[in-house]
Structure 1
Amino acid sequence: MATEVRNNTALERFELTADGTPAGYIEYQDTGAERALVHTEIYPRFEGQGMANVVTKAALDTSRAEGFSVLPLCPVVLHFVKTHPDYISLVPQRARELFGLPQ
């Protein structure tokens, strides 16, 4: 299945498609140099297929490339960061304890 994630800045969300069909999204809010990832939604037809990981990785990679630090307010995003330690550096040092992440 071919997936694509695009940043819809007008709606402040990363939108995931699978074979051209909308599959889900992550909503965010930008404040200065920080991007809060606040909610992940995967449509029922695509649940259980790893789509949350696809959209989360793309959102984190794009945020890094755009120079944002990340606040993983969404439990899906926080779990991803906890299980992929190379993304912990995106979370500001001051916020890591709040999210249960190593300093």
Structure 2
Amino acid sequence: MDIQSEDGPTGGRYFTGNPGQEAEMTFSRASAKLIIIDHTAVPDIYRGQGVGQALAQHAVEAARAGGWKIIPLCPFFKAQVGRHPEWREVISG
């Protein structure tokens, strides 16, 4: 699955899919080393295919590579964190 990212000074998103049917996970930047995952949206066309899980995994890998932490405010992402104790080193709060 090809997951892309858009990142700016105040936040960004990870996304995949066709234009107009993109699945995305958005984040806000609290500081240079802390992001807040605040929303995940997966269109019906991608439901049940692990797209949300792939976005969450991508966010964790990006945090590991960038040396930052994640505050999980999004209910979907928070649930994924509960299922993946191996992600704890990048989770804050």
| TM > 0.5 fold call | yes
Q: Which has the higher relative contact order, 1 or 2, with Cα contacts under 8 A spaced 6 or more apart?
A: 2
Aligned equivalent of 1:49? 49
Aligned equivalent of 1:60? 60
Aligned equivalent of 2:2? 4
> Does the residue aligned with 1:39 lie in a helix, a strand or coil?
strand
Q: Which runs of 5+ in 2 are unaligned?
A: none
TM-score, normalised relative to structure 1: 0.78
Note the 1:73-84 alignment, pairs <5 A.
73-84=73-84
**What's the C-alpha RMSD, in Å, of the aligned pairs?**
1.4
How many residues align? The count is 88
> Does the residue aligned with 1:27 lie in a helix, a strand or coil?
strand
> Does the residue aligned with 2:49 lie in a helix, a strand or coil?
coil
2:43 partner amino acid: Y
Q: List per-residue Cα deviations over 1:58-96 (Å, max 9, x = no partner).
A: 11111221111000111111111110111011123xx2x
Aligned equivalent of 1:37? 37
C-alpha distance in 2 between matches for 1:53 and 1:36: 17
Structure whose CA Rg is larger: 1
TM-score, normalised relative to structure 2: 0.86
